[in-house]
Chain A
């Protein structure tokens, strides 16, 4: 089928792949103009309240979403161009591009859902009706919206998806050979070792078995981005992305095991003394030492710089006292990266330091068999498999030599430098969960018979799956782009933040719609989609809640000054 059966005037046109990319380019330019207007508009709103961003949060965060929507489209164009250059921009990919543009261009004109209940309208961004009309009247915008939202496009996409229900990706993801191979390897691993068991781990609130962790270690997952001299594989963020995505598609807990090693590894690699690197990195890379990140406190979530946990130096030892919470996988961890206040005179981030604290492994009965450390499990909806804990430290000793980098007061800065990588990885996890939801939705919709046919043959069902595939591809391309920027040594905090923001929304909407497709069965705990819904929910909260994430993105957009 030719995707552009007719244009808005009803005149048949023949988009070839190149013509489509050109149209998308022009539509993107129009979207960029809307974004520029929105920046000016929001900047004016902020100026009107004397620079108090919080007073106009809805508009400021709306700007972040507007920019994220445009950036998503930009990366889709770039993906399309890349494929087209290799003659791989085929029907499937072309239709995904058209559907993506139709939806996101229409959202730019009519309103972007920051979530189901909060839609940011152009007026909130200071975009005038005249600007919107000019945008909507742009020939390419008009044409892509009309074509891409047509029943014909969605029906054909639904068909292409159903033809290969076990596909690794729905539409070519545009990876090079080596990254494609990493994906295939991880997919194979997840299909055999993770997917058949994940739901049971979740339902029983069990740990991911140590044998699975050992297998991940043997594959090289924990040392993926560490240099070879420290026992790592020496791969970049793009590799980390595709591995995290595919493992999270199996089970978010498995995809997240790597996060801990990633954060600890990056912290130590970038900031550690030579002794610290030599002592810890090889063991983290081999999986011999499982790390956990100990940052959050009961009263400091997003406002990390104000944390209270104290570390007092007594001779050669720091003694940690304080409360930490939301610590993932601490019982089986061997080393904690603990963010503490070493200088009580400095109330802000300058008083913070990072300690590398070793601890013995515990069990459910005796979670923390160490002097000065106690804790209790936090029972959670989803994101299980590693278990969450509250932890209290009471004069818990850490050798002074384990102060990261050997200099006090650097903890916050050290941590912030890892956030780009952590955001990218979380975006990749979100893409994986979003894809998992789509896999489950598709499988169920093709199997479930009602009124004498598979429910997938009903447009409202198939269209949900189609939009899942389309949005997964947008979030994925934005994530890959951030990772590639990082691999090139370029600053990518903005794009990484956007990727995380979008990925989390897509994961949740995909899971929600996938559950809807399951009907009553989706509400039953025995169906895996019930778990995936719970797992998807965390993505909008951890590693920067959606609101903080939008705030950070908005600030960066406005400080860039254009």
Chain B
């Protein structure tokens, strides 16, 4: 069974992000970037499946600028076997649908039995690519997975849904998107970091797959969350109730 794991290079989770002064987007110059944490969970799960003998090959793929190679190398340091970078320009805006179309084209060529991917990227929090890909391919999907069990050509996916856990049964080929509690990704070892440098990495473009990257959405503006304002002290219960009624308007 071949597993395809798409990964995205995003602003590191520890970085304090800032909005550009003109509101056109985020300040990304010289900001530390990392592999999207949910994608890291996906690659870890894929590698575990391979280690259990349930998968034969783990192919990692990324759509993004040249530096996304770093994310692919990180994924290969965890255990991915080879990488495909669909290189875009630094300034390109890449939307989930475009990524889903590229992934569909790659899936048509690679023919994986499973596409295992993060449920969302922590930069734009779209949470769309997996679902769109499932629709484009016409494959079953199990999103927000907190547990995956493979039994022959059937995948049991435990999903984290509102109010509890739901287990779905998918026939391969399928799409599974990973949630936070699926696993704890390992630290890549020093030898594996070195080996990852030598693993094959193919560079492609969107045009190779006949996909048009032109965005369909328009970002009007980006703003920082409002700064929390200081509270006030009230003198009495009556004043509190009055303020809740008039100022806060919650009563």
Contacts and interface: CB of A to CB of B under 8 A. Distances in A.
A177 interface: yes
B101 interface: no
A220 B190 contact: yes
Contacts of B189: 218-220
B73 A163 contact: no
A560 interface: no
Given A165-B16, A166-B16, A181 B32 contact: no
B188 interface: yes
Contacts of B77: 181
B110 interface: no
B73 A181 contact: yes
Contacts of A243: 190
B16 A163 contact: yes
B70 interface: yes
Contacts of A207: none
Interface in A423-472: none
A221 B190 CA distance: 7
A378 interface: no
A185 B30 contact: no
B15 interface: yes
A189 B73 CA distance: 18
A514 to B, nearest CB: 20
A224 to B, nearest CB: 6
Contact of A219 (B14, B74, B190): B190
Interface in B15-36: 15-16, 18, 30, 32, 34
Interface string B54-79: 00000000000000001001100100
Given A166-B16, A181-B73, A235 B32 contact: no
Nearest to B77: A181
Interface residues of A, number: 29
Interface in B143-202: 187-191, 193-194, 197
Contacts of A177: 70
Contacts, number: 51
B188 A233 contact: no
Contacts of B74: 181
A233 B16 contact: no
Contact of A220 (B32, B34, B70, B191): B191
Q: Size band of the B side of the interface?
A: 10 to 19
B191 A166 contact: no
A460 B234 CA distance: 38
Interface string A196-220: 0000000000000000000100111
A164 B15 contact: yes
A233 B194 contact: yes
Nearest to B29: A90
B227 to A, nearest CB: 14
A235 B190 contact: yes
A178 B190 contact: no
A182 B16 contact: no
A178 B197 contact: yes
A182 B193 contact: yes
A413 interface: no
A88 B30 CA distance: 8
A262 B139 CA distance: 53
Interface string A221-241: 100100000000111000100
Contacts of A302: none
A185 B192 CA distance: 11
B15 to A, nearest CB: 7
Contacts of A185: 187-188, 190, 193
A163 B19 CA distance: 12
A184 B73 CA distance: 13
Given A188-B187, A220-B189, A235-B190, A163 B18 contact: yes
The list of the 8 closest CB pairs from A to B, nearest first, reads A220-B190, A166-B14, A233-B190, A220-B189, A219-B189, A233-B191, A189-B187, A220-B191
Given A167-B32, A233-B190, 14 more contacts: A164-B16, A165-B16, A166-B15, A166-B16, A168-B32, A181-B70, A181-B74, A185-B193, A219-B189, A224-B190, A233-B194, A235-B194, A239-B190, A243-B190
12 contacts: A164-B32, A165-B16, A166-B14, A177-B70, A181-B73, A185-B187, A215-B187, A219-B190, A220-B189, A224-B190, A233-B190, A235-B194
